[in-house]
Chain A
């Protein structure tokens, strides 16, 4: 049995593991996060293991499966140690060359290296890739270096040292004061000061107290919480244990989406390991602190990420969530009416490093009111999509252009949506806005859970507002009038405008509905739902006006407002559009510029995507 009974035993164990790892010599780490797995990382691992088993090398080589590195755009990612050589988009057939050239021959395989799109030169190591260079991967950094299935890997990189420190050297009050000093704020969206929340929960009367880790990540395109739980589950468990110690909880819950099977699996394995090693359970590390964690799977409702709805869901109340009245807040009356602390995965994942390195260290990172780093899901029309962890205060421009590598296809930046479906769309004039809770709110958007969707000039902002609103309307629980009925009416106005039947007065109606929803909805979902509409009205009013007054969609997106035609000069009569038009709207004899029948055309865009000569014109 590996049960560790004291901080000293933990350190001894760690040294044992590190020594064993050093004997391992070379290692090939394959990212098996969800993104890389989807692009075939599993077969790369299989090919690697098979090749290494067949050709026994002189130096033993370890195959290491790791969590998400964040650079999903370039997956499957393979890192060869020593040297930290980064290979991108690796296929199983590349494996022999990697082993023979890099491990045996000590040379890099140039064709598999990342090519810097600016200089056009290959970049051999992760640290030199611009995508990583601008980041400060304090929380995510371990993901690529450890196997999430192995607690030993986590210990090797210093895992559970912070918990040992808290239990043996700090009182719960000192742990809380340290978090308060760090300036850490809730990373799930609210931005409430974490230390203050912990203090309120510690002071609340009522026993027992509960701790909940909110991993019900639901924003479209967001996968930070997922990547942390999948790639480094022990980091989250350690953060939870420290939080539980601070508030005086003996039972914790991880509320994770059932749609995250790998996160459920890895978190479950981590729980078992932590119990077996004595890092969860009775008298952890020989202290008087006892704590255990249960895994609760969510049923797929977005609103369950809202903390009071989440509590109802854990309590087993009907599948449909019911946001409860507040106050009392969960810190006073939460799960089963007892004081409950709910923190997001990213918040808890920041706790070990703050506890270990000190709140004074953490608060040096970031801006006056927003401290530390934030993980963003950078997606949409940007070259390097993936997870980026940056210090607060970095500007949108730095994230999108320096880390994200700018807009693909030479197109123009149009807007960036931050904070998920309830966030706002910010225009080019806001690109130099620093990422900071207050600054984003002033601009009409939110930090939210860290969603960042980049849009180029082929995006219609009215259509975007309609899309995001349709998401929140669909996910509204329907309990309160303003969110349920107000959202439905707002959708109707947007549908009319995108269909070319809009009237100028609709804009005023949208504002009135939005104002009432913001002021009077029951929970944050309804209060924030109008944000995409309000920000697009504020920054892109001209597009609304074009739809209404000119019956025109400037970006060429809204089907009812555009027509397709064929540029006879550019057309080479290749016939590709004729063959692929689903309705037969494009026709004509061989080797002649075809005709497009507007009656039959459904403006699906198939011809536009397929034409290699830019001969399809959208107006």
Chain B
């Protein structure tokens, strides 16, 4: 079922259930986000995507990322002064929490936001903005839930259970991949992969050819499991991507030469 919505005065038609954010982007209206990620369920935590809506006379400010459009007639304004005040305040508060984070600094420059008039602006070296992307990717995409939010309110943080090395962690580093601020640090050394904030410390499988670390054994076992292979073989016959390419190239070069008809030859 298609429904009608008006975004910044422009009418648009989207399938029912589309979020305001997706609808706006589909008609070229940009709404800023931090905790949103295409691969993940909406979360609504960062409050940067706030927009004003008018639903048959009922006006409110909502997060665009997790507001599904269920019926026609909603009027959305993405740039009212009230919206910008709340958005800028969200950014300002995040910047006060994490003054050193580049993505926040860049946005703050763009929006002319600074934290001068706030009281608590001390740089505590905090890089996590609690957007929850790492927690969600681990649960929703990887299916492991190795990490989670712990504590509440200002104490809230992301942590492995009991702040100890999590059994469930595969070492896949999806958490680091989706982190918008670089707070999830991955270190590879001495044949092990460390994901610092969770205390993950995983044995890596060495490349059969060059001996370089390829990936954690646990992750390979998981992947082989997904592919229906036996776990025991997880660490066997693994090459690093470079060696694999070299081997493939060598195999290809060793093939007998094939004559292609001239006009179709790739230059």
Contact = CB atoms under 8 A, between A and B. Distances in A.
Contacts of B87: 520
B151 A478 contact: yes
A478 B93 contact: no
A322 B156 CA distance: 12
Contacts of B129: 481
Interface residues of B, number: 38
- If over half of A's interface residues share one DSSP class (helix, strand or loop), that class is named, otherwise mixed; here it is helix
B249 interface: no
B153 A476 contact: yes
A485 B96 contact: yes
A550 interface: no
Contacts of A33: none
Given A480-B45, A515-B85, A522-B44, A492 B153 contact: no
B68 A481 contact: no
Interface string B59-72: 00101001110100
Contact of A489 (B42, B82, B119, B149): B119
A320 B152 CA distance: 7
Contacts of B46: 480-481
Nearest to B46: A481
Given A325-B42, A486-B93, A301 B85 contact: no
B94 A473 contact: no
A198 to B, nearest CB: 20
Contacts of A301: 152
A477 B152 contact: yes
A459 B130 CA distance: 38
A492 B44 contact: no
Contacts of A505: 117
B192 interface: no
Contacts, number: 116
A486 B89 contact: yes
Given A516-B85, A519-B61, A485 B152 contact: no
A237 to B, nearest CB: 32
Contacts of A479: 44-45, 130, 132, 149, 156
Interface string A308-339: 00000000001010100101100000000000
A492 B121 CA distance: 11
Which one of B68, B97, B117, B119 has the highest number of Cβ atoms from chain A below 10 Å of its Cβ?
A: B119
Given A481-B45, A509-B117, A515-B85, A325 B150 contact: no
Nearest to A322: B149
Nearest to B87: A520
A484 B149 CA distance: 14
Given A318-B148, A474-B153, A482-B47, A519 B42 contact: no
B82 A484 contact: no
Contacts of A327: 67-68, 70
A442 B109 CA distance: 39
Contacts of A474: 153
A18 interface: no
Contacts of B120: 488-489, 492
B93 A325 contact: no
A513 interface: yes
Q: Which 4 A-B pairs have the closest CB atoms?
A: A478-B156, A325-B66, A516-B89, A485-B93
Interface of B: 42, 44-47, 50, 61, 63, 66-68, 70, 82, 85-87, 89-90, 93-94, 96-97, 117-120, 129-130, 132, 148-156
